[in-house]
Amino acid sequence: MNAHLEQLSPRPLWRHFRTLCNTPRPSGHEAALVAILERWADGLGFAHDRDAFGNLRIRKAASPGCESAPGVILQGHLDMVAQANADHPHDFTRDPIETRVGDDGWLHACDTTLGADNGLGVAAALAILEDETLEHGPLEALFTLEEESSMGGALNLAEGWLEGRLLLNLDSEDRGQVYIGCAGGADVIVEAQLPSTPLGDDEVALRLSLTGLSGGHSGIDIHKGLGNANRLLVRVLRALEPFGARLVDYQGGTLRNALPREAFATLVLPDDEQASASERVAVLQEELRAELAGVDEGLTLMLAPQDPRPAEALTEQASQLLVRALHVAPCGVERMSVAVPGVVETSNNLGVVSLSAGRFHLCALVRSLRDSATEDLADRFRALFELIGARTRVENAYPGWTPNPDSPLLARFCRLHRERLGSEPEVKVIHAGLECGILGGKYPQLDMISFGPLIRGAHSPDERVELDSVAEFWGLLRALVEDLARGETR
């Protein structure tokens, strides 16, 4: 599948990306891809090993005469976000990603995430390793696991394992930009068992659905005003409280680092309130569409009879407490940075919310350029949901990456960008969880930058990559590796 990818330029990079597309690799299911890469490395005579967590390292000795050049680490993550449109059945653990080249000069997937994040970075690293015409110093390619789900690979990376002093993170998504800092973050998990009672004879069950939102990356896209399906459907449930609505179940979002595109709830209310509730939902649909006009145009809100009729629903008090807590929970941009103008400092994504048989579960992702702000926002969740008797815990916390504008590696990259493209790159800090902050904590001697091709719609089925930007990215990466091998300091 995806044979057309090998006709794109640069061919070595796209050939490796085809392998990645054809090999299922959602977070936690990277083993098959690791085995393929190990066989590939064996075939070319490259040394390779794994740490205790399973992160893969492939090494290539320096070109003759470049043995004293600083070691360079090419770093990316093997896993991808698994998101598909609701009407497109796709098993990310078994099915390959089907791609297509659009007339717009971009590569797309067919109703799923593309995996350009971070498949193109991984493919570029592999193409660098096999390039026999490239002059280079000692090379290490570090491929981490479970970045999208938990940062698990970076958090559990072996210390004292890597040998290089310069790290090129290939997981950025903007052309003409280079990143030198990123937000830290933490998962906030909230759970509770809530009381239920049988339905009354006069109660009717209804299915409430909110669909059609764009979704997106919960860090990079958090400031764009896109709809969050959980935030919006909870708002609708709050508006239905006066009609005596009680929640039966709820499911919204699938990943804590993707803006939820859809959310669904089953509720019950008195039969004589059904018509009024339906009218209220119709009004709310128009209000929400008006609020999202020009930003997220596809919202659809529906209320329809539910069959079969459930046996129980949350008590009215439990339902109201849960909906009200979710309604006031932090969501979206909390604060913009003063130190880095135009960059979000602190945010939260209500990523995954579920209710089944009275068991409530929430997974939110808090991000901040300041670790203290991450901790505080997580504590606000704890304080809020303790009021309804829920248990809260914080998992997978990871630090931010403190910018170093005086980095020699950054200066070298900027010079090459000027020479090759005739312009200065934008030096940026990103409100997303690059692995550099974690890696820098384990290897404080590393000088690091992050750059990549132009990717849009990451973490959603709208994910796409601009083809011209891939060629530009490849040229810059190749030139930088060669420049570092020469030891030039211009």
Instruction: Return the pLDDT at 490.
Output: 36
- Tell me the mean pLDDT in the region 363-370: 95
The C-alpha atoms of residue 134 and residue 314 are separated, in whole angstroms, by 65
Which residues are paired to 84 by β-bridges? 112
Average pLDDT along the chain: 96
E strands present in 290-384: 300-305, 312-314, 332-336, 344-356, 359-368
E strands present in 369-414: 391-398
Domain ranges (residues) in the chain: 3-183+401-486, 186-398
Q: Which helix (H) or strand (E) holds 20?
A: helix 11-22
Q: Which helix (H) or strand (E) holds 149?
A: helix 147-150
Q: Give the residue numbers marked as catalytic.
A: 79, 147
CATH number of 3-183+401-486: 3.40.630.10
Omega before 10 within 30 of 0, i.e. cis: yes
pLDDT at 395 over 50: yes
pTM, to two decimals: 0.82
- DSSP structural state of residue 144: E
Cβ-Cβ contacts under 8 Å for 48 (sequence gap 6 or more): 37, 38, 41, 42, 56, 57, 58, 59
Q: For residue 277, with 0-12 CB atoms within 10 Å meaning exposed, 13-18 middle and 19 or more buried, which class applies? A: buried
The C-alpha atoms of residue 97 and residue 111 are separated, in whole angstroms, by 9
Residue 312 near residue 197, CB atoms below 8 Å:
yes
Residue 141 near residue 390, CB atoms below 8 Å:
no
Residue 244 near residue 135, CB atoms below 8 Å:
no
pLDDT at 176 over 70: yes
What ranges in 192-338 are assigned the alpha helix state H? 229-239, 274-291, 316-328
* pLDDT single digits (tens) 312-354: 999 999 999 999 999 999 999 999 999 888 999 999 999 999 9
Q: 186-398 adopts what CATH topology?
A: Alpha-Beta Plaits (3.30.70)
* pLDDT single digits (tens) 197-215: 999 999 999 999 999 999 9
Residue 109 near residue 463, CB atoms below 8 Å:
yes
User: How many other CB atoms are found less than 10 A from the CB of residue 125?
Assistant: 25
- Tell me the mean pLDDT in the region 2-8: 97
